[in-house]
């Protein structure tokens, strides 16, 4: 890092501190975060369980101890190969690589959520060499590469997802490695006549294919990355069918072919996939809200003090962050050579367009989930690194260094704030479970009654970790002919259907009172009718 094109000693020190703090934040308080819906799914699938394995134990209509619910992942625990069968049968839109690795990890160490989160934190460390390699290959600049590495280290967006027991950080790392491998393969191919390195070229394209396949086996959203790369190649080569075009097409296509077995499993369960993603089309919000949420999610790569817009200061901060991102993109377009900057540009534009345009035209909230924007956010971070890391005159260099330090401070402050929170915005549909649990735990002998609608099973399992040990739970496969159990000081209905709740009031001579509600859940309490 020290040399002709290296940062100053102060800048160098800030980068080192940022890398150290970034590693620290990824592993801090892993046991203090809310266990939420998706992480419960990770625990079940990584144990090799199919839905029937655990639902047949829970959804019997019997009153169960909460401890049994918490330990349901130990029911009929199977071998690692059963992970593939379970996902192929019940959840093929989640490719198996991460879950297979998590299953092996859990069997070697432990399958508790903290240990699974530690695996994600370790995967996130692969992003550091990934982004350094990508920027080094792309811009041939160590200064830009180190700038990007430091920004990534304390980016609140990437730190938060590093603490999720999900596949995201593995996917993020593979996105970076895939793009770095592609640029390296292109560079070596163009230098063939000078270096005569045919073997190196073959190895580079093979590596590109292999990483592409791994990324597909981690997330279906890799398709947006492949499309970005394909568009980049076509524009880079001016739509000519030359060696670069053919080699790129061959490498990317072969990666897709390797993924074909799982694509077939997905096709066989396509109807289930559409049902699982129906939420992204059914919920419709104004286009202005879509754009404001997009701006908020983009700002999270550098500043994340608010789970949502809260007060004028959040609007100002998000506005300034968005303006800065646009400045970085414009700088990239103006000053970066097209054959280098175009990949970053298409990596930003294509994934966002694929989810945002259908929302704006047809309605839906595909673009609201920040994790699906990850390829674009990676591209934006690289664009910012280019703006702040490109060589410039001494006057502009001071401005670059100042802005760079400000961004690092904002990132560190955001990570520190988030590290102290039990619930952060990434918890999505489970965000209000702690409030639900607090209300239920006020009852001395509580019963929670839930159904199998939508995402309720996963949220009920996540809720069990927050309830008192004395609490009982009742999982209803059907809500017909239900009779209220006796001897409970509080009976709570978790997101009941209106039909069930009204029938219960009529048949059991009770009333139900809504305690809390958000977009994803409701909590009702059953009360006897008071005759006055």
Strand-pair partners of 493 = 449, 524
What's the pLDDT at 529?
67
Q: Return all residues near 97 (Cβ < 8 A) that are at least 6 apart.
A: 167, 170, 214, 217, 218
Q: pLDDT per residue over 472-515, tens digit each?
A: 999 998 877 788 998 899 999 999 999 999 999 999 899 999 99
Across 438-461, average pLDDT: 94
Q: Is 274 exposed, middle or buried (0-12, 13-18, 19+ CB in 10 A)?
A: exposed
Exposed, middle or buried by CB within 10 Å (0-12, 13-18, 19+), for 349?
middle
Tell me the per-residue pLDDT of 270-317, one tens digit each, with 9 for 90 and over. Answer: 887 777 776 677 778 899 999 999 999 999 999 999 999 988 999 999
| Residue 1 pLDDT greater than 70, yes or no | no
By mean pLDDT, which of 42-51, 274-283, 406-415 is the weakest? 274-283
Element containing residue 396 per DSSP (H, E): helix 394-419
pLDDT band at 193; cut points 50, 70, 90: low
Give yes or no for a contact between 352 and 373, defined as CB atoms under 8 angstroms apart: yes
List, in sequence order, the alpha helices (H) in 74-197: 81-90, 97-108, 113-125, 127-139, 142-153, 156-162, 168-190, 192-195
> What is the C-alpha to C-alpha distance for residues 317 and 322, in angstroms, rounded to an integer?
9
Query: What's the confidence (pLDDT) of residue 486?
Result: 87
Percentage of the chain modeled with pLDDT above 70: 95
Q: Tell me the torsion sign for CA atoms 186, 189, 195, 201.
A: positive
Q: Quick one: tokens of 148?
A: 């990007």
User: How many residues are recorded in the chain?
Assistant: 532
Q: Which residues are CB-neighbours of 271 under 8 A, at least 6 positions away?
A: none
SS3 438: helix
Q: Model-level pTM?
A: 0.94
CA gap 179, 215 in Å, rounded: 11
Specify whether the CB–CB gap between 307 and 101 falls below 8 A: no
For residue 97, pLDDT beyond 60: yes
Give the pairing type, strands 472-475 and 446-450.
parallel
Write out the E strands in 375-505: 446-450, 472-475, 490-494
What are the φ and ψ backbone dihedral angles of 325, each rounded to 5 degrees?
A: -65, -45
∠ CA(464), CA(470), CA(472), 5° rounding?
Answer: 55
Q: Which residue from 453, 473, 401, 371 is spatially nearest to 160, judged by alpha carbons?
A: 371
Q: Rg of the chain over CA atoms, in angstroms? A: 25
DSSP state of 92: T
Q: Cβ of 476: how many Cβ atoms within 10 Å?
A: 17
Cα separation, 222 vs 228, in Å, equals: 10
């Amino acid at each position: 890092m020290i040399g002709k094109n290296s940062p100053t000693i102060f800048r160098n020190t800030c980068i080192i501190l940022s890398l150290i703090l970034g590693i620290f934040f990824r592993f801090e308080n892993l046991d203090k975060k809310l266990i939420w819906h998706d992480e419960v799914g990770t625990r079940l699938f990584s144990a090799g369980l199919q839905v029937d394995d655990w639902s047949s134990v829970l959804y019997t209509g019997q009153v169960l101890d909460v401890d049994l619910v918490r330990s349901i992942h130990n029911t009929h625990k199977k071998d690692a190969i059963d992970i593939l069968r379970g996902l192929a049968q019940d959840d093929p839109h989640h490719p198996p690589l991460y879950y297979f690795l998590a299953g092996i990890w859990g069997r070697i160490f432990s399958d508790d959520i903290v240990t699974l989160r530690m695996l994600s934190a370790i995967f996130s460390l692969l992003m550091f060499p990934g982004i350094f390699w990508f920027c080094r290959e792309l811009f041939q600049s160590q200064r830009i590469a180190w700038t990007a590495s430091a920004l990534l280290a304390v980016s609140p967006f990437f730190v938060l997802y590093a603490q999720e027991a999900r596949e995201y950080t593995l996917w993020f790392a593979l996105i970076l490695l895939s793009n770095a491998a592609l640029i390296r393969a292109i560079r070596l191919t163009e230098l063939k006549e000078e270096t005569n390195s045919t073997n190196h070229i073959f190895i580079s394209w093979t590596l590109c294919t292999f990483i592409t396949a791994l990324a597909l086996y981690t997330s279906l959203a890799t398709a947006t990355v492949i499309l970005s790369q394909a568009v980049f190649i076509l524009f880079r080569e001016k739509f000519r069918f030359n060696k670069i075009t053919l080699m790129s097409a061959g490498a990317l296509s072969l990666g897709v072919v390797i993924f074909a077995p799982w694509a077939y499993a997905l096709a066989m369960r396509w109807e289930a996939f559409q049902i699982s993603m129906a939420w992204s089309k059914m919920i419709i919000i104004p286009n202005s809200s879509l754009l404001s949420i997009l701006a908020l999610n983009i700002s999270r790569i550098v500043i994340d003090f608010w789970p949502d817009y809260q007060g004028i200061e959040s609007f100002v901060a998000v506005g300034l962050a968005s303006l800065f991102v646009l400045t970085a993109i414009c700088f990239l377009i103006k000053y970066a050579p097209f054959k280098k900057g175009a990949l970053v540009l298409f990596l930003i534009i294509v994934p966002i367009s694929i989810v945002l345009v259908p929302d704006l035209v047809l309605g839906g909230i595909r673009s609201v989930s920040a994790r699906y924007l990850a390829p674009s956010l990676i591209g934006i971070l690289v664009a910012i690194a280019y703006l702040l890391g490109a060589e410039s005159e001494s006057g502009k260099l001071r401005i670059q260094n100042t802005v760079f330090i400000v961004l690092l401070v904002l990132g560190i402050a955001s990570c520190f704030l988030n590290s102290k929170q039990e619930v952060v915005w990434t918890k999505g549909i489970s965000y209000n479970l702690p409030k639900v649990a607090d209300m239920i735990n006020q009852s001395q002998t509580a019963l929670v009654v839930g159904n199998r609608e939508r995402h309720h099973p996963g949220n009920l399992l996540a809720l069990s970790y927050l309830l008192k040990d004395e609490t009982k739970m009742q999982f209803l496969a059907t809500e017909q002919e239900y009779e209220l159990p006796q001897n409970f000081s509080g009976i709570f209905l978790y997101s009941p259907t209106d039909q069930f709740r009204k029938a219960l009031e009529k048949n059991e001579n009770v009333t139900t009172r809504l305690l809390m509600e958000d977009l994803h859940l409701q909590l009702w309490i059953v009360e006897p009718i008071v005759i006055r």
